[in-house]
Amino acid sequence: MIALLRYRFALLGHSQRYLPPALVYVAALAAIYTDPTAPVPPEFAVSAGALVVFACWLTVAALDLEDPVQRLVTLSHARRPIALVTSSALAVLVACVPLALLSVGWAAWVHGGVPASALGAGLLAHLACALAGIGVALPCSRLLVSRLGFTVATALGALTLVLLVRQVPLVNPLLRAMGRDAEFTGQAVLAVALSASALAVSLAVTSAVAARRS
């Protein structure tokens, strides 16, 4: 898996496809963290919500880097189809970590004196959102949807459901709690567990369907 991760990072690095979503995310942070007197949790809610979009965008881009024949060549070395999908998801998750740290660190710098427990809960919230974003992106990616236009349309629809629909209990309850400036540590732990489970299901289903179609 380490070798596959190194390969994924090399592909992403050479392609520079990580730059547009990363720049958009940093610009969003610059717009969010402007008022030192504003409450921190609602700002974390917007930042974490933006990380769902970032993770989804980067996952779609990462899985688009290899065309189907090149993916077969990689598979002939890795042997297990699920290892290919898992390595892409892990690479995106690792790429989300510095952005989550940047967001939390930015909040600490702007507001000053933010308790460590609040920063930790904020990190958990960002982690849950990164997991949810990757889980949403996998079935919308080139592995299952061959046309980029359909990928964008399905990913936007799925992101809208996950972020805005109250009945989808992945990160929406967490973001709502944070938006109300309420205590959200418990919600964040629950959201991490739910999003990680959703990502595991997404990985398994996407990998199985892609293998079946090959």
Partner 1 sequence: MTTLLSLHEVRKRYGREPGVLDGVSLDVAPGRVVCVLGGNGSGKSTLLRILAGLARPSSGTRVGTPRLGYLPDRFPAGQRMRASAYLAHLGRIGGLSTVDSSTRAAYWLRRLDLVSTATDGDKGEVALRQLSKGNAQKVGLAQALLHDPELLVMDEPFSGLDRSAHGVLAEIIAERRERGAGIVFSEHRGDIAAEHADEVYRLRDGRLRPAGNTEAKGDTCYRVVLVGADPAWSPTGLISVVTQGDRTELMVRDTHCDAVLTQALERGASVREVMRA
Contact footprint for partner 1 (CB under 8 A): 3-4, 6-7, 10-11, 14-15, 65, 67, 69-70, 72-79, 211-214
Q: Rank residues 77 and 180 by Cβ distance to partner 1 and give the closer one.
A: 77
Q: Rank residues 74 and 185 by Cβ distance to partner 1 and give the closer one.
A: 74
Least Å distance, CB 61 to partner 1, is: 14
Angle at 129 between CA 42 and CA 137, to 5 degrees: 140
Q: Rank residues 27 and 148 by Cβ distance to partner 1 and give the closer one.
A: 148
Concatenated DSSP letters for 14-43?
A: HHTTTHHHHHHHHHHHHHHTT-TTS-HHHH
Closest CA to 143 of 52, 57, 54, 65: 65
Count H helices and E strands in the chain, helices first: 9, 0
Least Å distance, CB 147 to partner 1, is: 16
First vs last C-alpha separation in the chain: 22
Other beta carbons within 10 Å of 25: 22
Concatenated DSSP letters for 34-85?
A: T-TTS-HHHHHHHHHHHHHHHHHHHHHHHHTSS-HHHHHHHHHHH--HHHHH
Least Å distance, CB 146 to partner 1, is: 13
Q: What distance in Å separates the CA atoms of residue 141 and residue 59, rounded to the nearest whole number? A: 8
Q: Rank residues 13 and 186 by Cβ distance to partner 1 and give the closer one.
A: 13
Least Å distance, CB 205 to partner 1, is: 16
Least Å distance, CB 5 to partner 1, is: 10
Q: Rank residues 40 and 143 by Cβ distance to partner 1 and give the closer one.
A: 143
Least Å distance, CB 54 to partner 1, is: 23
Q: Rank residues 71 and 126 by Cβ distance to partner 1 and give the closer one.
A: 71
